[in-house]
Protein backbone atom coordinates (compact mmCIF):
# COMPACT_ATOMS: atom_id res chain seq x y z
CA UNK A 1 0.00 0.00 0.00
CA UNK A 2 1.30 3.46 -0.90
CA UNK A 3 2.25 5.86 1.89
CA UNK A 4 1.34 9.55 1.78
CA UNK A 5 4.08 11.84 3.05
CA UNK A 6 4.89 15.50 3.44
CA UNK A 7 8.42 16.76 2.96
CA UNK A 8 9.19 20.00 4.79
CA UNK A 9 12.23 21.32 2.96
CA UNK A 10 13.90 24.71 2.97
CA UNK A 11 10.83 26.47 4.34
CA UNK A 12 8.39 24.92 1.88
CA UNK A 13 6.18 21.83 2.00
CA UNK A 14 5.92 19.14 -0.67
CA UNK A 15 3.32 16.39 -0.80
CA UNK A 16 4.43 12.98 -2.01
CA UNK A 17 3.54 9.32 -2.20
CA UNK A 18 5.93 6.48 -1.44
CA UNK A 19 5.31 3.32 -3.44
CA UNK A 20 4.94 -0.22 -2.15
CA UNK A 21 8.45 -1.21 -3.36
CA UNK A 22 10.65 -2.91 -0.71
CA UNK A 23 12.97 0.12 -0.39
CA UNK A 24 9.98 2.47 -0.09
CA UNK A 25 8.48 0.32 2.67
CA UNK A 26 11.79 0.47 4.57
CA UNK A 27 11.89 4.26 4.30
CA UNK A 28 8.20 4.58 5.26
CA UNK A 29 8.81 2.41 8.32
CA UNK A 30 11.60 4.75 9.49
CA UNK A 31 9.57 7.99 9.22
CA UNK A 32 9.84 10.68 10.38
CA UNK A 33 13.33 11.27 8.98
CA UNK A 34 15.29 14.52 9.30
CA UNK A 35 17.88 14.85 6.56
CA UNK A 36 20.38 17.56 5.61
CA UNK A 37 20.28 17.61 1.81
CA UNK A 38 22.85 18.92 -0.65
CA UNK A 39 22.08 20.10 -4.15
CA UNK A 40 23.63 18.44 -7.23
CA UNK A 41 22.23 20.23 -10.26
CA UNK A 42 18.47 19.81 -9.92
CA UNK A 43 18.63 17.01 -7.38
CA UNK A 44 18.69 17.13 -3.61
CA UNK A 45 20.25 14.19 -1.78
CA UNK A 46 21.07 13.50 1.83
CA UNK A 47 22.08 10.61 4.05
CA UNK A 48 19.25 9.13 6.08
CA UNK A 49 21.45 6.46 7.67
CA UNK A 50 19.34 3.47 6.66
CA UNK A 51 20.97 0.36 5.20
CA UNK A 52 18.92 -0.53 2.12
CA UNK A 53 20.80 -2.61 -0.47
CA UNK A 54 20.53 -2.09 -4.22
CA UNK A 55 18.03 -4.34 -5.99
CA UNK A 56 16.86 -5.03 -9.54
CA UNK A 57 14.77 -1.82 -9.64
CA UNK A 58 17.92 0.36 -9.66
CA UNK A 59 18.25 2.80 -12.54
CA UNK A 60 19.93 6.11 -13.36
CA UNK A 61 17.42 7.88 -15.64
CA UNK A 62 14.70 9.44 -13.53
CA UNK A 63 11.64 11.63 -14.02
CA UNK A 64 11.07 15.08 -12.57
CA UNK A 65 9.41 14.65 -9.19
CA UNK A 66 10.74 11.16 -8.49
CA UNK A 67 12.03 10.28 -5.04
CA UNK A 68 14.71 7.60 -4.83
CA UNK A 69 17.05 5.80 -2.46
CA UNK A 70 20.76 5.90 -3.30
CA UNK A 71 22.31 2.79 -1.66
CA UNK A 72 26.01 3.82 -1.76
CA UNK A 73 25.29 7.07 0.10
CA UNK A 74 22.47 5.67 2.26
CA UNK A 75 20.66 8.71 0.94
CA UNK A 76 17.24 9.96 -0.05
CA UNK A 77 17.12 11.81 -3.38
CA UNK A 78 14.55 14.16 -4.87
CA UNK A 79 14.87 14.86 -8.61
CA UNK A 80 13.47 18.11 -10.01
CA UNK A 81 15.44 18.63 -13.24
CA UNK A 82 18.71 17.81 -14.99
CA UNK A 83 21.78 16.89 -12.96
CA UNK A 84 25.46 17.21 -13.95
CA UNK A 85 25.24 13.60 -15.22
CA UNK A 86 22.26 14.33 -17.51
CA UNK A 87 22.67 14.13 -21.27
CA UNK A 88 19.22 15.62 -21.97
CA UNK A 89 16.47 17.34 -19.94
CA UNK A 90 15.83 14.26 -17.79
CA UNK A 91 17.36 13.91 -14.34
CA UNK A 92 20.14 11.35 -14.18
CA UNK A 93 21.50 9.92 -10.94
CA UNK A 94 25.25 9.61 -10.34
CA UNK A 95 24.76 5.82 -10.14
CA UNK A 96 21.86 3.42 -9.76
CA UNK A 97 19.10 4.54 -7.41
CA UNK A 98 15.98 2.73 -6.23
CA UNK A 99 12.78 4.59 -7.19
CA UNK A 100 10.59 4.83 -4.08
CA UNK A 101 7.97 7.47 -4.83
CA UNK A 102 6.86 10.72 -6.42
CA UNK A 103 6.30 14.29 -5.35
CA UNK A 104 2.67 15.05 -6.13
CA UNK A 105 2.59 18.72 -5.13
CA UNK A 106 5.18 21.49 -4.91
CA UNK A 107 8.12 20.14 -6.95
CA UNK A 108 8.56 23.51 -8.70
CA UNK A 109 9.48 25.21 -5.43
CA UNK A 110 12.79 23.32 -5.15
CA UNK A 111 14.49 25.25 -7.96
CA UNK A 112 14.57 28.40 -5.82
CA UNK A 113 16.25 26.79 -2.81
CA UNK A 114 19.94 26.90 -1.92
CA UNK A 115 22.86 24.48 -2.06
CA UNK A 116 22.08 22.90 1.33
CA UNK A 117 18.68 22.50 2.97
CA UNK A 118 17.14 20.74 5.94
CA UNK A 119 14.31 18.34 5.11
CA UNK A 120 11.90 16.38 7.26
CA UNK A 121 9.98 13.48 5.72
CA UNK A 122 6.75 12.69 7.60
CA UNK A 123 4.10 10.01 7.15
CA UNK A 124 0.63 11.50 6.68
CA UNK A 125 -1.01 8.08 6.18
CA UNK A 126 -0.56 7.10 9.83
CA UNK A 127 -3.33 7.80 12.34
CA UNK A 128 -2.86 11.05 14.20
CA UNK A 129 -0.77 12.78 11.53
Render pLDDT for 36-71 as a digit per residue (tens, 0 to 9): 999 999 999 999 999 999 999 999 999 999 999 999
Mean pLDDT rounded to a whole number for the chain: 95
Chain segment 72-109, per-residue pLDDT in tens: 999 999 999 999 999 999 999 999 999 999 999 999 99
What whole-number percentage of the chain has pLDDT above 90? 95
Q: What pLDDT, on a 0 to 100 scale, did the predictor assign at position 128? A: 52
CA distances from 73 to 13, 94, 127 (A): 24, 11, 31
Alpha-carbon distance of 113 to 48, in angstroms, equals 20
Residue 126 has pLDDT above 90, yes or no: no
CATH fold of 3-123, please?
Answer: Cyclophilin (2.40.100)
Angle in degrees, CA 37, 33, 47, rounded to 5: 40
Q: Where are the domains of the chain?
A: 3-123
**Cis bond upstream, residue 32 (ω within 30):** yes
Amino acid sequence: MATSVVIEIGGTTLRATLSDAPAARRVAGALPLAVTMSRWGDEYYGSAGLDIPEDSSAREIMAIGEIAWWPPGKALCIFFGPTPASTDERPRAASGVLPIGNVTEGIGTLAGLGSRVKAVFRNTSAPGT
